[in-house]
Amino acid sequence: MKWTNLIKPYRLGCPKNTVPNSARTEFEKNFDRIVFSTDFRRLTGKHK
């Protein structure tokens, strides 16, 4: 077992060749992830 093989970026889940998508910001991605999630949609009828 070699540490250099265990600590490579692609082993940690980082894609090898990624091009930054400048169309949406990280905030917009996170906002959409929350708003369109099943758990958040379930709350729509639960307001006072």
| pLDDT (tens place) for every residue of the chain, 48 residues total | 777 776 766 655 656 666 666 788 889 999 999 999 999 888 887 776
Cα separation, 28 vs 36, whole angstroms: 12
Q: Which residue has the tokens 């709350």?
A: 43
Q: Which two tokens stand for residue 11?
A: 């082993």
pLDDT at 21: 62
pLDDT at 37: 93
Write down the pTM of the prediction.
0.46
pLDDT at 20: 65
pLDDT at 14: 58
| Domain ranges (residues) in the chain | 3-44
